[in-house]
Amino acid sequence: MSKVLSNKNNLQVLYEDNHLIIINKRAGDIVQGDKTGDTPLSDVVKDYIKDKYNKPGNVYLGVVHRLDRPTTGVVMFAKTSKALPRLNKLFVDRKADKTYWALVKNAPEKQADTLTHWLRKNPKNNKSTAFPKKSEDSKKAILHYQILKQLDNYVLIEVSLETGRHHQIRVQLASIGSPIKGDLKYGFNRSNPDGSISLHARNLKFLHPVSNEVIHVTAPLPKDPVWDVCLA
């Protein structure tokens, strides 16, 4: 299901029921409040719920998972305190099947592969470094990728994660010589005009923690000529 249910105030709602809501995040949106003081996506969603259902008082919304600010795609929130721990457990137990699309500069050597690195985060510059072997304060990172399409100047790659580390997809792809389009922090040579990086949380599939229904959501790609070619 990739239809946008609502596009009010630039908020693309992909799925909603009594327990959860799934949004197609735009580049530049922060999922949860941080030191910048910018309005987080969580507050925008709260306002949407308050307005749509004419709710008095404060609206409950739980953050289930996050996406980096310059990335786009599927983000899920819990609408009830009952749903939040169940949804969190889905992600902790790796029972939420999430796939990403990335546009990279150089094609990896293999059509499909599993990448394993040890990542160390530097909080001072908010950047992770990948090592081939375990090192001090590093965490194991595993991802799987496959090449979906060769474009004129870029390569479309699909990625799924076994672990959820800081900037994992960005640093692991950069470490094999395939930095993501627009990602200056990890070696791409120029930025995207809107400050985004071409990494998109494309699909999310999971078993609904209350109804036990299989939910499968596909987030439409950003409006961009290069992304458009991916679907041609």
pLDDT digits (tens, 9 = 90+) for 189-226: 999 999 999 999 999 999 998 999 999 999 999 999 99
To which CATH superfamily is domain 13-229 assigned? Pseudouridine synthase (3.30.2350.10)
Domain ranges of the chain: 13-229
Q: Please, is 220 exposed, middle or buried when counting C-beta atoms within 10 Å of its C-beta (0-12, 13-18, 19+)?
A: middle
What percentage of residues in the chain have a pLDDT greater than 90?
83
The amino acid at residue 197 is I
The reply to whether 34 belongs to the active site is no
* pTM to 2 decimal places: 0.92
* Active-site residue, from 43, 51, 68, 97: 68
R_g of the chain, CA atoms, integer Å: 18
pLDDT digits (tens, 9 = 90+) for 134-143: 988 999 999 9
pLDDT digits (tens, 9 = 90+) for 148-200: 999 999 999 999 999 999 999 999 999 999 999 999 999 999 999 999 999 99
Q: Could you tell me what percentage of the chain is helix, strand and coil, using 3-state DSSP and rounding each to the nearest 5?
A: 20, 35, 50
